[in-house]
Amino acid sequence: MPETQLNVRIAFVGGGNMARSLIGGLVRQGMAPSLIAVAEPNAELREALSRDFGVGVHAEGAAAAAGAAVILLAVKPQVMRTVCESLQPAVQAQAPLLISIAAGIRIDQLEHWCGGSVAVVRSMPNTPALVGAGASGLCANAQVSAVQRGQAETILGAAGLAVWIDEEAQMDVVTALSGSGPAYFFLLVEALEDAAVAQGLPRDAARALATQTALGAGRMLREDGEAPAVLRQRVTSPGGTTQAALDSFAASGLRETVARAVAAATERGRELAAKSEG
């Protein structure tokens, strides 16, 4: 990754699922594992990260953060305040770029918990990052330099697509769309599988066909370049089977149902942020 090659020290605080997927992406893209340090209290996870990627592992956040130009916070929102407070001396001494991937934790909270002025990128990735097909929204505060923006983009981009969001308030919408979004598509595949079984198809065949249809539709959305509505129209022969299904979706208010679900998820993100006030 020439322009995107990272040659600065990165500390991951939290070595769970999301951290693992981001670390895997960086190492696959050629980043030297010796530049990556991970703090993870769970010894089994620590050993697995060391064995699988050759990264440095520590039990404590402060040990991993020592000398890091980028500190990526990959812990659950509930422990974020304690973790930031423990990192305060390192953050104040080293002035690193701080990247948080925690749902619902705001930039001003992170600044406050880390002891004041600090460059922060708030990000919302999603679980397809585990297979290199993630989608992340990124939002930076004013202290983040152009170089640091590039670093954040490289780290999140190593696991898929990274999109900058200007207004932090919109990060709750990103969470509701792409953060939670994989679950919506999984639900649709579940429902399609069950529906096909109800119509007489064996379950194995129903799951295989529903899964591959989701993959095929996703790849066409990315690779064809046409708008989703155009791709949909191309499948829909007048008076045919697709039209019958789409008419039924419309009669059930599918678009309104989706709009209500995304509104509920956005609102929940706001509530979670309010709960973690401090």
Ligand X SMILES: NC(=O)C1=CN([C@@H]2O[C@H](COP(=O)(O)OP(=O)(O)OC[C@H]3O[C@@H](n4cnc5c(N)ncnc54)[C@H](O)[C@@H]3O)[C@@H](O)[C@H]2O)C=CC1
Ligand Y SMILES: O=C(O)[C@@H]1CCC=N1
Output the known binding site for NADP(+): 74-77
Rounded distance between C-alpha atoms, residue 119 and residue 276, angstroms: 20
Least separation in angstroms between CB 236 and ligand X:
33
Figure out which of the listed residues 9, 10, 11, 15 binds ligand X, where binding follows CB under 6 A: 15
Stretch that binds ligand X, among 37-45, 154-162, 166-174, 244-252 (CB under 6 A): 37-45
Please identify which residue in 180, 193, 210, 266 interacts with ligand Y, judged by CB under 6 A: 180
Q: Which is nearer to ligand X, 96 or 125 (CB)?
A: 125
**Is residue 179 close enough to count as binding ligand Y by CB under 6 A?**
yes
- Closer residue to ligand X (CB): 59 or 254: 59
Closest separation between CB of residue 247 and ligand Y, Å? 32
For ligand X, the closer CB: 178 or 206: 178
- When CB distances to ligand Y are compared, the closest residue is 179
Residues that bind ligand Y (CB under 6 A): 103, 175, 179-180
Residues that bind ligand X (CB under 6 A): 13-19, 39-42, 45, 61, 74-77, 79, 83, 101-103, 124-127, 179
